[in-house]
Amino acid sequence: MLAANNWILLGAFLLFAGILLGWLSGRAGTPVLLVFLLVGMAAGEDGPGGIQFLDYSLSFLVGNLALAIILLDGGLRTRYAVFRVGLRPALGLATVGVVVTSVIVALAAMWLLAFDWRLALLVGAIVGSTDAAAVFAILRASSTRLNERLAATLEIESGINDPMAVFLTVVLIELVRTGADPGAALLGTLLLQLLGGLAGGVAGGAVLAWLLRRVVMSEGLYALLIASGGLVVFALTNAAGSSGFLAIYLAGLIVGNQRTHADEDVLRAMDGLAWLAQAGMFLLLGLLVTPSELLRLALPALAIAGVLMFVARPIAVALCLAPLRFPLREVGFLSWVGLRGAVPIVLALFPVMAGLPQAKDLFHIAFFVVLVSLLVQGSTVSWVARLLRVGLPPRAEPLSRVMIETGGVVRSEFAQFSVGAGSQADGAGAAQLRLPAGVTLAAVFRQGESLPIGAATRLRAHDVLCLLGPPLALDEAGEAVSAPSAAAELQPRAVFGDFALDAGASVGDVAAFYGIELADPSQALLTLAECLQRDGHGRAVEGDAVRLGRIELTVREVRDGRITRVGLKLL
């Protein structure tokens, strides 16, 4: 009884300390996930805690469960719309990109560690994929808002690149262990991983979404139902020899886009589960590592991390995105934000479980690479976004949001927004407030007191507006009534310029007004939207820009795939 209580005390204390230290370090820009790793290392055998923990089987189990929950949470938050702009680049990065990265890292491992080519390729495969936990957590914590193309590519890539990494790792372990040539079985294994994961995720997600539309229960149980159902899909798909990671991400994607009981309250509960999974996983992996072994391999592992960040990832990204006409600054950002997290460490447990002779070295190399990635790349995400000018002004977020179901289908939502200083609502009459079609102003609160909705009521900054309407219209209403804080680092005028123009305006008229001679006279016949679309990079997204003489045109608003407003900046 005493031993069990001591383990509970130890686990709770480490989690408590990690959260508090993560909060403090987050204010200095250090990723929270790195803090959990360091807390685990400090509690381990070479740290002040002195705990000897060598249970690789338990770590493998916890790591797989945690990654499954993290991918499920990421899928729940990803909208189908992002696949229009992010699927093609993400597929390339998740397949060809992983292979290219692995090969380049393998060449470095052969030179730095004198590894056999099979073992060197295994190192590359282990660290070759980006990590959903790191990408989702750090982008969210950094408050960096990216354009739709960048955000979609990163989210989808990190959600679907695990099958390729797992496939390469398993095949190479077999090569190292037996020395045999797997031959044509490679293609069959890869197809089983991908197609089986796809089928399992779609089928499991459809069943789970169907259940959620028909089951009525306590609100607190919906998140547990989604989590447990997602893990069932994960485990069954794994049992069939396919990618459970891909399956659970797709299951979450389907459930999250059905507008069922996966509303904001459930997503907040899932966010808590995902953070608990991440924290527990990183603490356990930190306990598992031996810092003295890390020091022995520090120099070659640091060199491998450098090759990965500055050579392998940039080359892989450039090759995969070259046919898609990505802007150079976006290619640079995607190259830098190839964050490594728990996935490489969990993959590094595969050789240990298989009993390979140098498995412990592989584990510690992967661990060191993750430490460097989180410390160097994870702590500079916001800075690099500003440097490369890929960040966008922050969106207005509702104070709260609740789905309203009619016949089991969500058609409306109830949301609360705070009136922003200088916004359209600031100083406007409550009865004359211009809102998108279908949105109704239900109530106004000032300092906790309800105000009448009439012509005599003038809205002020920090008033709380309760709005009722369709989900997409509510997003538009939020942008109108809740302007970004004046303290925000990135202001709209810094990105879009001082003027907002209708996207249907003529390029020729704008050029004539500002006295600009167009290098290509045919541009004068285009609208601003057509000019941006023609000179853009595939499907236009907010933030795309084109320069015409001494002015810069920037996509300011996109609705249903069409550019509707354009920002103009004088250079």
Which pair of tokens denotes residue 340?
């490594």
Q: Residue for token digits 């300092």?
A: 447
- Alpha carbon of 555 to those of 487, 492, 495, 530, 567: distances in Å? 23, 12, 10, 11, 6
Sheet with strand 464-469: strands edge to edge: 400-406, 409-418, 464-469, 440-446, 449-451
- Alpha carbon of 26 to those of 31, 273, 361, 379: distances in Å? 6, 20, 31, 9
Per-residue model confidence (pLDDT) at position 547: 83
**Do 166 and 71 touch, CB atoms closer than 8 A?**
no
What is the mean pLDDT of the segment spanning 259-282? 76
Indicate if the alpha-carbon torsion angle 328, 331, 333, 335 is positive or negative: negative
pLDDT tens digits for range 185-228: 566 777 788 888 899 999 999 999 898 888 877 767 888 889 99
Provide the β-strand partners of residue 451: 444
Q: Counting Cβ atoms within 10 Å, is residue 170 exposed (0-12), middle (13-18) or buried (19+)?
A: middle
pLDDT tens digits for range 314-367: 999 999 998 888 888 889 999 998 888 778 888 888 888 888 888 888 888 988
Taking each continuous run of H as one helix and of E as one strand, the counts in the chain are 24, 9
Q: What does the domain layout of the chain look like in residue ranges?
A: 2-48+56-387, 400-481, 492-570
SS3 570: strand
Contacts of 243 (CB under 8 A, 6+ apart): 162, 163, 166, 193, 194, 196, 197, 237
Task: Report the percent of the chain where pLDDT is more than 90.
Answer: 13
Provide the β-strand partners of residue 467: 415, 441
**Out of 222-231, 432-441, 461-470, which region has the weakest mean confidence (pLDDT)?**
432-441
Contacts of 491 (CB under 8 A, 6+ apart): 393, 484
Per-residue model confidence (pLDDT) at position 104: 95
Q: Mean pLDDT of all residues in the chain?
A: 80
Calpha distance 205→80 (Å, rounded): 14
Find which of 51-60, 95-104, 126-135, 351-360 is predicted with most confidence, using mean pLDDT: 95-104
| Amino acid, res. 175 | L
Find which of 286-290, 359-363, 497-501, 554-558 is predicted with most confidence, using mean pLDDT: 359-363
CB atoms within 10 A of CB 355: 9
DSSP string over 54-100: --HHHHHHHHHHHHHHHHHHHHHH--GGGHHHHHHHHHHIIIIIHHH
Calpha distance 43→53 (Å, rounded): 10
Per-residue model confidence (pLDDT) at position 487: 42
pLDDT tens digits for range 381-439: 878 888 888 877 776 677 777 777 665 555 677 788 888 777 777 777 777 777 777 78
Q: Residue for token digits 């702009």?
A: 85
DSSP structure class, residue 466:
E
Q: Is residue 7's pLDDT more than 60? A: yes
Q: Residue for token digits 């995969």?
A: 320
Per-residue model confidence (pLDDT) at position 546: 82
pLDDT tens digits for range 33-42: 778 878 888 8
Find which of 57-61, 327-331, 488-492, 540-544 is predicted with most confidence, using mean pLDDT: 327-331
Task: Report the percent of the chain where pLDDT is more than 70.
Answer: 87
Provide the β-strand partners of residue 449: 446
**Do 345 and 131 touch, CB atoms closer than 8 A?**
no
Indicate if the alpha-carbon torsion angle 148, 154, 157, 160 is positive or negative: negative
| Amino acid, res. 536 | G
**Out of 56-65, 115-124, 126-135, 344-353, which region has the weakest mean confidence (pLDDT)?**
126-135
| 2-48+56-387 and 492-570, same CATH topology | no
Which pair of tokens denotes residue 13?
């204390």
Contacts of 221 (CB under 8 A, 6+ apart): none
Q: Is residue 486's pLDDT more than 50? A: no
Per-residue model confidence (pLDDT) at position 201: 92
SS3 116: coil
Indicate if the alpha-carbon torsion angle 111, 117, 120, 121 is positive or negative: positive
Calpha distance 399→414 (Å, rounded): 11
Calpha distance 166→197 (Å, rounded): 12
| Amino acid, res. 33 | L
- Alpha carbon of 290 to those of 46, 53, 285, 348: distances in Å? 6, 10, 10, 14
What is the mean pLDDT of the segment spanning 237-257? 88
Nearest to 304 by CA among 384, 207, 370: 370
Calpha distance 83→64 (Å, rounded): 26
Calpha distance 505→182 (Å, rounded): 61
Nearest to 102 by CA among 127, 133, 66: 127
Please give the helix or strand (H or E) that residue 151 lies within, else none.
helix 148-160
Q: What number does CATH give the domain 2-48+56-387?
A: 1.20.1530.20
Calpha distance 260→209 (Å, rounded): 7
Q: Compare 570 and 483 and report the one with higher pLDDT.
A: 570
SS3 132: helix
Per-residue model confidence (pLDDT) at position 237: 93
CATH superfamily placement of domain 400-481: Regulator of K+ conductance, C-terminal domain (3.30.70.1450)
Provide the β-strand partners of residue 461: none
Calpha distance 376→507 (Å, rounded): 43
Contacts of 54 (CB under 8 A, 6+ apart): 288
SS3 462: coil
What is the mean pLDDT of the segment spanning 153-168? 80
Q: Hey, which CATH number is domain 492-570, 3.40.109.10, 3.40.50.620, 3.20.20.70, 3.30.465.10?
A: 3.30.465.10
**Out of 229-233, 240-244, 422-426, 448-452, which region has the weakest mean confidence (pLDDT)?**
422-426
Please give the helix or strand (H or E) that residue 137 lies within, else none.
helix 132-141
